Amino acid sequence: MNEKNSVGIVKSKIFKCKNSLKLDCGVMLNEYELAYETYGKLNTKCDNAVLVCHALSGNHHLAGRYSSSDKYPGWWDSLIGPNKPLDTNKFFVIGVNNLGGGHGSTGPKSINPKTKKPWGSKFPIVTIQDWTSSQNELISYLGISKLSGVLGGSLGGMQAIQWSIQYPEKIKNAIVIAAAPNLTAQNIAFNEVARQAIVTDTSFNKGDYYKLGVTPKTGLRIARMLGHITYLSDDVMGQKFGRKTKNTNYQYNLNTEFEIESYLNYQGDKFAKDFDANTYIRMTKALDYFDPTNGNKKKLSAVFKKIKSSFLIISFTSDWRFSPKRSKEIVKALLDNNISVSYAEIIATSGHDAFLMSDGRYHDILGSYFKKMLGAK
C-alpha cells in the first residue's frame, strides 16, 4: 500500500472502563469497553486532540487500513491524514465506536457479565448523552483534560453539540456538519419505518436472534435501503441512475428492472452482512431522543448559555434530511449568546451524504478552521 498522505496501517484498541455509568434510561453499567483508534501524536501539552464522532452506520475506523489487502480505508480517510484538512502531523485524532455500536464496543452482541450470554434484547437503550459520558472517560484515560475540538457529521454532529453543553470546560471547538438540534417528525418517522422493517422480520426473535444463529437480514436490508433514499438528493439519483434499466426492453416481471433498484438492493445486502440489527435500532433511537430543549420546554438559546467553545457549522444545499434551515437554528442560538460561530452553506448535489464527500470547497473550509484552531492555542 502506497497511498498519498495516508496514516498507513492502523490498529484498533480497547478501552476497558471500570467506572460505572448510569444511563439515561436508568440502567447502571458497572463496566464497559470502547473500541477506538488514534492517529498522529499527542503533544507534550496534551492540547492538540480532536475527537471525531461517528454517524449512524459509522465506527471508530476513521482512516488508514488494517492491512495492505484491505479493499477500503477508514470511512473519513479523505479528511484525516498527513497534510489533509485534519492534519495528523499536527493533531492527535481519536475515533471511538459508540457504546452499543457493535464494532468492538460493549453492545447487544457482547457478553452480559451476569448471564454469560449475549445481551441481545436486554441491552439497554442508550442516548447521545450516554455516549459523550463514556467518551469523556476515554479522553481522561488518554491523559487529555481539554479537547482542541470535537468533530462530527449528522449523528456525530449532535454528539459535538452535546459535548459543548455537557462539558463546556473540556472542549475548545465544536465542528458540527450536516446536523440538527433535534429530529423533525418526518425524520423520526423514517427511523420508525426502518425499525419496524427489522422487528417484524421473522428472524428478529424480539432481539434474541444470536442464540438461533440467524440474523434479520431481510428487515435490516430494507431499513438500509430506506435510509439510502433519504441520504441522497433527487438530483443526484437522477444524475446517477435516472430511468436507466438493466435490459434494453422491459421484462414485465417482478425482477429488478431499473438500475436504482439494483443499487439499493446492493447497498441493502452489503449492510445486512456487516451491521447488527439491535445496534441499528439503538442508534436510531438515540437520534430520536436527542433534544437539548427537552421537547421545547427550554429555548435552544437558553440551553446554549453555558457553552464556552467556538463553533464551525456546515450545511449542504441539497441535504433535505438535515437541511441548512436546521443548521441555522443552531447558529442563531449560539449568536443569541455571543458565542463565536462560523457558518458555511456548501452548494452540493449529493444530499445528506455530502458530508462524506471530498468536495474541494468543503475541505478547504475545514482545513482553514483547523489551522485557525492551531493558531488559537
Q: Are strands 173-177 and 149-153 parallel, antiparallel or unpaired?
A: parallel
Which pLDDT score, from 0 to 100, does residue 376 have?
60
Query: How would residue 63 be classed by pLDDT, with cut points 50, 70 and 90?
Result: very high
Which pLDDT score, from 0 to 100, does residue 22 have?
98
Alpha helices in the chain (DSSP H): 128-141, 155-166, 185-199, 217-231, 234-240, 259-274, 277-289, 300-303, 324-336, 360-375
Backbone angles phi, psi at 337, to 5 degrees: -110, 15
Query: How would residue 1 be classed by pLDDT, with cut points 50, 70 and 90?
Result: very low
pTM: 0.96
Which pLDDT score, from 0 to 100, does residue 162 have?
98
Q: What is the sign of the dihedral through the CA atoms of 26, 29, 35 and 36? A: positive
Cβ atoms 81, 88 nearer than 8 A: yes
Which amino acids are annotated catalytic? Answer: 154, 319, 352
Domains observed in the chain: 13-184+292-375 (3.40.50.1820), 188-285 (1.10.1740.110)
Asked if residue 134 has pLDDT above 70, the reply is yes
pLDDT digits (tens, 9 = 90+) for 174-223: 999 999 999 999 999 999 999 999 999 999 999 999 999 999 999 999 99
Asked if residue 244 has pLDDT above 90, the reply is yes
Cα distance between residue 333 and residue 347, in whole Å: 23
Asked if residue 107 has pLDDT above 80, the reply is yes
Dig out the grid coordinates for 113 from the structure.
Answer: 457479565
Sheet-wide strand order for 310-316 = 13-17, 32-39, 92-96, 49-53, 149-153, 173-177, 310-316, 341-346
Query: How would residue 312 be classed by pLDDT, with cut points 50, 70 and 90?
Result: very high
Average pLDDT of the residues in 144-168 = 98
